[in-house]
Chain A
Amino acid sequence: MRLEDCWHPLGLSHSIEAGSSAGTRLLDRELVVWRDRSGIAHIWEDRCPHRGMKLSFGFVRGDHIACLYHGWQYNSGGHCQYIPAHPALDVPKTIKVPAYPVHERNGMIWATLSENPAAAPENDEPVVPLRSLYLGCSFDAAVEALSTCRLVPLASEAPVETVVSRVTNTLLAVSCAQDKLLIGIQVISKTRTALHLSLCGSAQRYQGAGQAHFNAWALQLRHAAEHVRATHAASDRDVA
C-alpha cells in the first residue's frame, strides 16, 4: 500500500470550528481545511486559481469560502460562484479549486489524494480529543518512536504492558490497561510529521484530569523524538 493511496488525518475535528479555515500540508502539498457554517468539513488545494493566494488566509461565509485577495467566492463543490469586481458575471464552470474526499472519524478529519483510496478508517466508539503534536522527523521515525512507547494508565501507577497496533497505515492504537489512544499520523513532508491524538472513551472519564495525564505523556514523547534528533545531529557532526 503506497502512502499516496491511504487516508490521511489532517487535524483533530475540534481544531477546525464551524465557519473557520486552516492551512496544512500533506505529502508536501498545501491544503486548506475549512468547515462551513453548517459544520461540514472541506479539504481543497490551498490556492485560489485567480492569483495563487492561499485560500486558508481567506474567510468563510455560510457555505462559501472567499479569497482574502480579491474576494472570489467558492461554493462547497469548489466552483467559483461570485467575483466582486464583476458582480453581473456568470462565472465559467472551469474556474474550480481541486477538492478532495473528506471523512471524519476518531475525532479526526481525514482526506485522501488518491482516486482509488484504501478503505477509510471506521470507528463508532466515542472519543475525547487530546492534542496534535508536530515533529521534525520522518513518518518512519515517528512510527518507530510510537512502536516502542510506554503508556502509564490513568487509573493505576503499577506498570502495565503497552500494546501498539496498526489499525491502518496511518492510524495506530496504543492501549494500556483500560485506556486506548488513537494516533493518526500525518505525513507533512519527508522531514515533518504530525500526530493527532484522541482518547477512546467518554468525556466523563477523560475530560480534564484524564486529558492532562495523557498530555504529559504526549509532551514526553515529543521531547524524546526531538532529543533523538538532536543526538543524531550531534553524531553526524562527529563523523564529519
Chain B
Amino acid sequence: MANGLVLYNYELDESCYKVRLALSLLGLEWQAVAVDVFPGKEHLSPPFLALNPLGRLPILRDGDLVLHGTEAIIAHLARAHDPSGKWLPAQAPEFAAVMQWLIFAAHDLGVTIAARRHSLFGPSGNEASLRAASSNAIRIMDDHMTARGFVQAEWFAAGHPTIADIALFPAFALSRDFGIDHDEYPALRRWARRFRALPGFKTMPGIPDYH
C-alpha cells in the first residue's frame, strides 16, 4: 500500500479530471480506484470520510501521504514528482501568479462546478444565478488571456504551462454542459487549443476527443 500513486476517482467529476490531467501531463504512473459517487454516494461512506472528512473527491494517496483538496493535490504532484520544476515554478513572480490562479480555480470557479452539477445531476441551486456567476468568472479568464496575448504570452502564469492552466482548463472545456458556449471567449478558445496539444493531454466525458 505504501508504494505508488493511488487516485480515488469518479470519471464524471471535473475535479478528479484535474488530477488525472496533472498525472498524465507529468508523465506519471498511477492506479485509479473507481468510487461510486452517483448514485451510490460511496464518497460519503465512513471509509471515505476517514480519508476526507469533507466527503469530496478527489483523494490522492502517495505512499503514506493522504491528501484531499484538488489544488493541493496537483501542487503536491508538481512539487514532488516534476524534476523540471516548471509545473510549479519556484521563482517569486511565477509562483505568485500560479497561486493566484489556483485559488481562483478553487474558490471563484466553484460556481461552474455547482452549475454543471445542477445541469447534469438534478435540481439544486438557482440556474440563472449560477450561470451568470460562471460566465462572469470565465470572462475574467478571457480578459486575462487577451492581455497576455499583447505580450505574446500563451499561458496563464508563466512562459510555459503550469498547474494553474491545469486547474483552469476543465471549467472552460466543460462549460457547454451548463449552457455557456465558447462563442464569446476568443482568447480562451486559442488557449484551450494549445492546452489540448500538450503531450499527455487527456479528455473526459463532455470534452470531445476530436478537435
Seen from chain A, the residues whose Cβ lies within 8 Å of a Cβ on chain B are: 11-12, 15, 17, 20, 22-25, 57-59, 66, 68, 131-132, 134, 194, 207-208, 211-212, 215, 219
Contacts and interface: CB of A to CB of B under 8 A. Distances in A.
Contact of B150 (A24, A58, A66, A207): A207
A23 B186 CA distance: 11
A23 B181 contact: yes
A57 B189 contact: no
Given A20-B193, A57-B208, A59-B211, A215 B150 contact: yes
B1 interface: no
B151 interface: yes
By Cβ-Cβ distance, the 10 closest A-B pairs, closest first, are A15-B186, A211-B150, A134-B184, A59-B210, A131-B146, A24-B183, A23-B183, A212-B150, A59-B211, A208-B150
B190 interface: yes
Given A17-B190, A212-B147, A215-B147, A22 B210 contact: no
Q: Is the interface of A mostly helix, strand, loop or mixed?
A: strand
Contact of B186 (A57, A132, A215, A219): A132
Contacts, number: 43
B146 A215 contact: yes
Contacts of B151: 208
B182 interface: yes
Given A23-B181, A215-B146, A12 B186 contact: yes
15 contacts: A15-B186, A15-B187, A17-B190, A22-B186, A22-B189, A23-B181, A23-B182, A24-B183, A25-B183, A58-B210, A132-B184, A134-B184, A208-B150, A212-B147, A215-B150
